[in-house]
Chains A and B, each alone.
Chain A
């Protein structure tokens, strides 16, 4: 059904009968180039957003691949006038990560493979371990925030969206995004300071 729609749309875009195979090849090449350009420009942001959401690099890679496969399948129905590529792809990424959490019925944010490895004799390893512990604690702290705040932080720091874009995506007001962002970071800071003093003291 979708494939038919896609083919029909392609026929329409191609300008109907009379187009030679050269025109058709050109159009396919342009589409492929447009998709490749979108991938090159947007993939890092999508990946960073997913890293914040799932807190795990290999899982973020898997979901990034899912996101771009979906984008590939629906590229012909994507309307650039309705949404910027970053907005469209981030919406797909949000839905995909939500589906992932729903299907897996768990809110696993930090997996064991993120835990610091055992210390070795190499120089600077203590700092490395401390840094890994800090990162892990930050990820854990992030996972304790309400879903909406996690989304705001991930969209802001990962996808680098402005408050207006975040507001449109999350269907909240722009001022609400700013308020929640500040309060969420502050709450996380308080929690992190508590943890930090516990581990040091």
Chain B
């Protein structure tokens, strides 16, 4: 061990003694002593939190914790439908009924039942003519209702498929394709308003997540901001962040392939309340390499 090493390790030990409230081992070296005394001065910068602040924050956090638990237990609770479907017999009955109704609806829409219904109508008319009970309107209504439901469903599917192309804002991520393990990774996210009208991005900055590629495992997330950003037509903006490759617990992640996801909403004030909630998955992908053989190509 060199003299330098010895002084430095002794210094660490003495600092730790001071932190424990003990006296350092007495030393003759004047320079060392002066440095240690100065460390004592530095230690006097230590400020304890104000008790009022500590109590307020604790109380606030506990309230939030309780709210979080309530929200989590609410979403974990089965809905009425789920509870009903929990019964095997009931589940079987509901599924069977649904299948039969769907089949009837399809056949009805295909027109196969029309002649039969006409015949049935004729039969009912003749029954009426014969003084029978009036046909219930319920007999006629299920078919148009089902057709309308089917149409509604078709529209909903079409809308959900059409949504991404209707989105007036494009997003692209740029990250170096290969990165050395342990080094900071720069992530640049470009938002561009391709539409003819102004949009509002909210929140801005958006929530950004780093996910293990090909899985749903989020290893780290950057908190969203609390502001909004207006983008006029054809305007763009970029949001740059640096990820230190640590996960939520502050531990470096394993080498491997990762993707970047972005969550945010886009509002079109000129179109009233048109709001798109966007969860853009995999806007960029990159590799964390275990060694230093890195090629700096951009995706």
Contact = CB atoms under 8 A, between A and B. Distances in A.
Interface string B5-18: 10111011001100
B41 A138 contact: yes
B68 interface: yes
A157 B42 CA distance: 8
Given A1-B263, A43-B57, A182-B35, A10 B72 contact: yes
A171 interface: yes
A163 B250 contact: no
User: Chain B contact residues (Cβ within 8 angstroms of A): what range?
Assistant: 35 or more
B65 interface: yes
A32 B209 CA distance: 26
A138 B244 contact: no
A157 B14 CA distance: 12
A181 B35 contact: no
Interface string A69-105: 1101110011100110001101110110000001000
Interface in A166-201: 169, 171, 175, 177-179, 181-182, 185-186, 188-189, 192
A137 to B, nearest CB: 10
B149 interface: no
A179 B5 CA distance: 7
B39 A185 contact: yes
Interface in B248-292: 248-252, 261, 263, 279
Interface string A47-77: 1100110000100110011001110111001
B29 interface: no
B180 to A, nearest CB: 12
A32 B72 contact: no
18 contacts: A7-B72, A39-B57, A43-B54, A48-B48, A68-B57, A69-B64, A72-B68, A78-B248, A87-B250, A134-B41, A135-B44, A156-B19, A169-B250, A177-B12, A179-B4, A185-B35, A185-B42, A192-B38
Interface of B: 4-5, 7-9, 11-12, 15-16, 19, 34-35, 38-39, 41-50, 53-54, 57-58, 60-62, 64-66, 68-69, 71-73, 75-76, 182, 209, 216, 218, 221, 223, 242, 244, 246, 248-252, 261, 263, 279
Sort A-B residue pairs by CB-CB distance and give the 6 closest, nearest first: A91-B250, A189-B38, A47-B49, A182-B8, A178-B8, A182-B11
